[in-house]
Amino acid sequence: MSDTKALLEKIAALRLRIDQSHHLATAAGATAADPAGAAALEDKVRSGGWHSALLDGVLRGAEPAEKPALPVRLSQRGARLVRQARDLLAQLKALADDPILPADAADPLAELHRSTAGMIDAVLRTVQTFPPSTSAQSRMSEGLEAILEVVDDRLSIVKAAMRQRSTETGRIERLADALRRIAAGQAVNVASLEQLAGEVREEARQGLPLRFHALPTDDPAHAAAAHGLTVAGVLARLIDGDADWQGRDLEGLVAALVHDAGMVRLPAELIAQTGPLTEEQRRLVERHPLAGAQALVKLWPGGGWAIDAAADHHERLDGTGYPKGKRDLHLADEVKLLTVCDVYAALASARPWRGPHEPRTALTDTLLLADRGALDRKQAERLLRLAFYPPGSVVELDDGCVALVLAPQVGERALTQPARPVVTVVREAFGQAAATPRYLDLAQQTERTIVRSLAPAERRQVLGRLYPELV
């Protein structure tokens, strides 16, 4: 090689190095100029978020510990690959700065985000080791392009899950705000509650998974809102398409949303308490139905189902409930149904002092209470419409496959076949992902049965990367 040629190649390599530093510095510019974003990143790094450290390093153009040699000349295809990787990395960076992305490194969404950032890092580092030959670069680019396609898919999954979480936390905030105002005797726009009820109804109509919100312990209004949304979600699925409820369903769902407005006045430490209540605390809790009903009268001066539901949702048909020990004949049918939803929702959701009960257990326990005369049997049997395993449940079949429940049976079959929903297999018997989508109607395929539903930790493991929004 002549001196001139060697010199030209050195200049080309130097230009490329300067070019790459420039691009990386440009991508990092937004972070450097944004002290709030930089502080958020530093927080996550401090809390041990490896992926944030990685993003921070890559986006700021920090030098890796070992400096891979840069290729002499990058082919057009290689350069396109780098541009695409940088674009995907910038999108991941934007998501990392969004407070919706959980700081908990063990959260499946954070894990998916982190490992996806790692894939891009691997691609960029591999490009740095490209050989000079264009044909060799082309072969390697093909493999790296395939990795970036997977990265793109994962990015879509992360974005969809973050949208979902944003919607859910937004709804809890909106309802908590309304409940605070109701409890404080301030004006609340009933139309905004009806809009929220309409969103819950629409999700039920679309057959979307039922959410059992854990009880937030930071604020009683958040707790009442999260629980109200779960109860409304249950009720929406029970009355959807029911002729008796036509034209009244929104009223019922609003009642479900606000039925625990009286909880807002409870002390925050009582909501978060994990041990048994003292006698005085128990008396405070037993006041929440009437406190809620009194606050809601200002919203509906002429009375209505929301007020009855707030006042009577802890009454039991056999007189064992509170605050008044009312019996069967003094309770409206609508309130009896909401009480059934309230009991089922509370059992199936996590509480500060216990984890969530499996939906099947929550359903059978609610039916047992009806059998003993505490709850209305006819209203409790409506829960069978949810099936033992509501949509969104992850179950193990008797052949070892893991499946996601898509829909319960409909009509008469919903009542006779509650353990046989329609499912799709997500993991084969030996643990590998299902190669092709397979839908099973277990009411038709009677040789297959559900053995159990998976515990939250198992759900994370099986579904975390595929559907973090379902975990």
Give CA–CA dist 415/371, Å, rounded. Answer: 17
Say how many residues touch Fe ion, by CB under 5 A: 2
Given a contact cutoff of 8 angstroms between Cβ atoms, the answer to whether 403 and 395 are in contact is yes
Given a contact cutoff of 8 angstroms between Cβ atoms, the answer to whether 234 and 264 are in contact is no
DSSP category for residue 328: G
> How long a stretch of residues is the chain?
471
Q: What dihedral angle (degrees, nearest 10) is formed by the CA atoms of 154, 156, 159, 163?
A: -130
- Residues of this chain, 333-362, that bind Fe ion according to CB under 5 A: 342
| Least spacing, CB of residue 312 vs Fe ion, in Å | 10
Nearer to Fe ion, 249 or 342 (CB): 342
| Least spacing, CB of residue 372 vs Fe ion, in Å | 20
| Least spacing, CB of residue 259 vs Fe ion, in Å | 6
| Least spacing, CB of residue 362 vs Fe ion, in Å | 14
> Is residue 79 exposed (0-12), middle (13-18) or buried (19+ Cβ within 10 Å)?
middle
Contacts of 84 (CB under 8 A, 6+ apart): 145, 148
Residues 22-51, one symbol each (x = binds Fe ion by CB under 5 A, - = not), give ------------------------------
Q: How far is CA 67 from CA 70, 144, 242, 254, 294, in A?
A: 9, 20, 67, 61, 70
Nearer to Fe ion, 56 or 342 (CB): 342
Nearer to Fe ion, 102 or 352 (CB): 352
| Least spacing, CB of residue 220 vs Fe ion, in Å | 12
- Residues of this chain, 391-420, that bind Fe ion according to CB under 5 A: none
Nearer to Fe ion, 260 or 396 (CB): 260
| Least spacing, CB of residue 159 vs Fe ion, in Å | 34
Instruction: Tell me if 308 contacts Fe ion by CB under 5 A.
Output: no
Nearer to Fe ion, 151 or 345 (CB): 345
Given a contact cutoff of 8 angstroms between Cβ atoms, the answer to whether 264 and 294 are in contact is no
| Least spacing, CB of residue 215 vs Fe ion, in Å | 10
* Cross-strand pairs, 450: 397
Nearer to Fe ion, 20 or 349 (CB): 349
Nearer to Fe ion, 42 or 269 (CB): 269
Contacts of 89 (CB under 8 A, 6+ apart): 27, 55, 58, 59, 117, 120, 124
Give CA–CA dist 353/422, Å, rounded. Answer: 33
Residues 246-285, one symbol each (x = binds Fe ion by CB under 5 A, - = not), give --------------x-------------------------
Nearer to Fe ion, 58 or 370 (CB): 370
Residues 201-240, one symbol each (x = binds Fe ion by CB under 5 A, - = not), give ----------------------------------------
**Contact residues: Fe ion, CB under 5 A:** 260, 342
